[in-house]
Amino acid sequence: MFNHIMVGTNDIEKAKTFYSAVLGTLGLAGDPIEHTADSGHKRLFYAHNGGTLCVSEPINGKPATFANGGTIGFRCSSAEQVKAFHDAGVAHGGTTDEDPPGLRESSMGAMYLSYVRDPDGNKLCAIHRPD
Q: What is the pLDDT of residues 15-24, one digit of tens each?
A: 999 999 999 9
Domain limits for position 42: 4-60+69-128
pLDDT > 70 fraction of the chain, expressed in percent and rounded: 100
Q: What are 33-66's pLDDT values in tens digits?
A: 999 988 899 999 999 888 899 999 999 989 999 9
Ranges 47-51, 73-77, 98-102: which has the least confidence:
47-51
Residue 119 near residue 94 (C-beta atoms within 8 A): yes
Tell me how many domains the chain contains.
1
Task: Give one DSSP letter per residue of 48-117, joined into a string.
Answer: ETTEEEEEE--TTSSPP-PPTT--EEEE-SSHHHHHHHHHHHHHTT-EEEEEEEEEEEETTEEEEEEEEE
Give the predicted TM-score (pTM) of the model: 0.92
CATH of the domain at 15: 3.10.180.10
